[in-house]
Amino acid sequence: MARKKPTGTKGTDRKGNRAISGASLLGMLVFFVALWLLWDTAAVAPVKLFVVFLHEISHGIVAVATGGRIDRIVIDANQGGACYCGGGSTFLTLSAGYLGSLAWGLAFLGLARLEAQARWTMAVVGVATGVVTLLFMRNLFGFAFGLGFAAALVIAARQLPALWNARILTALGLTSALYAILDIKSDVLDRPGLESDAHMLADLTGVPTVVWGILWIGLAGGVVALVARRALARA
């Protein structure tokens, strides 16, 4: 008699990780639409501020990776932020913000599937957020927010079950991916004169701000569509 292959519980693999299902994808879609509709409300402001944090640290990571340094990061209550860097590749560092938001979003969505490790993942993200805040955040609001959000993530990791930690990671991932699209539209396409990453790239390269916005939105939309297509194929 052939031996049956070991399987996990319903909705998970044998390692306890979540399998993608049609219901999960539908839930992500509903959340994505709700997030879109509530984007400019206070309901999603804390998560958007965290995504701004990810956007700014993405600049810093690329600056360091290309031989530069992070001098300081600031985040304000109006969901604005800046990462002041010295050295490194100016072109790559400026390009890293919105594309970094997309990369973080996809990373969180991927990590959310590893439900068995979700509490550890949340704890690591929380501790890393706190460390970056202590090392680089240099304005009072940003410092308070960074430490507060870091503490909230660590508390969630300690107090909530793995399933809810995975759901929070999914929410953070979807918000970060959506930010990469909506804020490019708002900051670059709707207001091309705004002092943004694309505006500074236009000054650096001579390529118009709107062109950078279209390129970034096209890349972000294409990557999100590809990931969704592959997820549907596995559902």
Residue 141 domain-assigned (yes or no): yes
Helix intervals (H) in 66-208: 90-112, 118-136, 140-159, 162-184, 197-205
**Rounded to whole angstroms, what are the CA distances from 149 to 38, 53, 131, 163?**
20, 10, 12, 20
Query: Are the CB atoms for 57 and 130 separated by under 8 Å?
Result: no
Domain ranges, residue 227: 46-76+86-234
pLDDT band per the 50, 70, 90 thresholds, residue 198: confident
Encode pLDDT of 132-154 as tens digits: 999 999 999 999 999 999 999 99
Q: Which residue has the tokens 């990453």?
A: 197
Residue 160 domain-assigned (yes or no): yes
Residue 33 domain-assigned (yes or no): no
Least confident of 1-5, 101-105, 183-187, 199-203: 1-5
Choose among 88, 89, 92, 116: nearest CA to 18.
116
Strand partners, 18: 12
Residue 156 domain-assigned (yes or no): yes
Residue 129 domain-assigned (yes or no): yes
Please give the tally of structural domains in the chain: 1
